[in-house]
Amino acid sequence: MNAQTVTDCVLVLVILLNLGMLAVSRLASGVRLFAMQSLLLAFLPLSADVLEGESPGVHALVIAVGTIAIKGIVIPHILLRIIRTGEVHREVEPFIGFTASVFVGALLVIGSFGVATRLPLPTSPISTLIVPVALSTLLLGLLTLVSRLKAITQVLGFLVLENGVFILGLLLLKQTPLLVEMGILLDLFVGVFIMAIVVYQIRREFDHMDTHLLISRKES
């Protein structure tokens, strides 16, 4: 099995994990699936180097380690901790039901494969699946974001969306300086940290995490 096949397999798994996240109702399972997805993605920068017959460079190694540490371990840990300390463990009555959202998700995946054929890459990428998988991950993240009610699931949706951007970023390892990549990871981490604090406050203030009950103004 060469690096090409491995990359393709990983990308297919990423899509399956996305659909899995849409299907589960337990919040903790969703977070674990996200952690698995991030761990899988962390190895992709390395495979890009291996594919070209080189040993993994420092750049790719730093990104892989950073991704594993922040997206694979620290962020899921924070989210799981919030879920454990709260009473609510399940997503109840989402705007779009679980089965229906998997169906919509599958349609979005098909759509993004369709769009990707109309966006030819200027150079041949490490895997032709990268653009469609990035697009579908992005769209499924957005779907989670708009169709679920719990603040914590919305954070999860945002993280999946960010993973989609990360996949597209794989095409650009050579272009972006390490400084920028680390800055992006750091911003993501601080962002999720602040979100976690706000989620915690929401729960204290309202005794639940339902954002649609945040009532008040509907005019806009």
Partner 1 sequence: MTLLLLVAVPLVFGILCLSLPTSPLRMAALVGGAWAHLAVTVRSWPAAETPGPGDLFGLDPLGHLILTFISILFAATAIYFVGYHRKRLVSQRVFLACVHGLLAALSLLCISQHLGLLWIALESASLAATPLIYFRLGPRALEATWKFLLMNSVGVALALLGIFCVAIATTKHDGVIVLTITDLARYATHLDPVWLRVGFLLGLVGFGTKMGLAPLHSWKPDAYGESPPPVAALMAGGMTLGAFTGILRLFQICAAAGLSTFAGSWLIVFGLFSIATAAVFVVGNNDYRRLLAYTSVEHMGVLVVGVGLGTAGSYASMLHAMHNMLNKGALFFMAGFIWRMYETNDIRQVRGTLIRSPLAGILMLAALCATCGLPPFGMFFSELGIVLAAAQNNRWWVLALFVLTLAIVFVGVMTAMLPMVFGDPPEGITAGTLESPSHRWRRVTMLGAATALLALGLGLGAYQPTVVRDALVRAADSLYHPGFEAVAFATDTEVRP
| Binding residues for partner 1 (CB under 8 A) | 119-123, 138, 142, 145, 151, 154, 158, 161-162, 164-165, 168-169, 171-172, 174-177, 179-180, 183-184, 187, 190-191, 194-195, 198, 201-202, 205-206, 211, 214-217, 219-220
The minimum distance between CB 144 and partner 1, in angstroms, equals 11
Q: Is 57 helix (H, G, I), strand (E, B) or coil?
A: coil
Residue pointed to by tokens 């993004």: 112
Of 22 and 199, nearer to partner 1 (C-beta) is 199
46 Cβ contact list (under 8 Å, min separation 6) = 56, 60, 61, 64
169 Cβ contact list (under 8 Å, min separation 6) = 176, 181
| Tokens describing residue 160 | 């999946």
134 Cβ contact list (under 8 Å, min separation 6) = 164, 165, 167, 168
The minimum distance between CB 152 and partner 1, in angstroms, equals 12
Of 27 and 202, nearer to partner 1 (C-beta) is 202
The minimum distance between CB 20 and partner 1, in angstroms, equals 22
Of 55 and 123, nearer to partner 1 (C-beta) is 123
Cα four-point dihedral sign 171, 175, 157, 69:
positive
Of 53 and 122, nearer to partner 1 (C-beta) is 122
The minimum distance between CB 197 and partner 1, in angstroms, equals 9
Of how many residues is the chain composed?
220
The minimum distance between CB 164 and partner 1, in angstroms, equals 8
| Tokens describing residue 16 | 């399956």
Of 34 and 158, nearer to partner 1 (C-beta) is 158
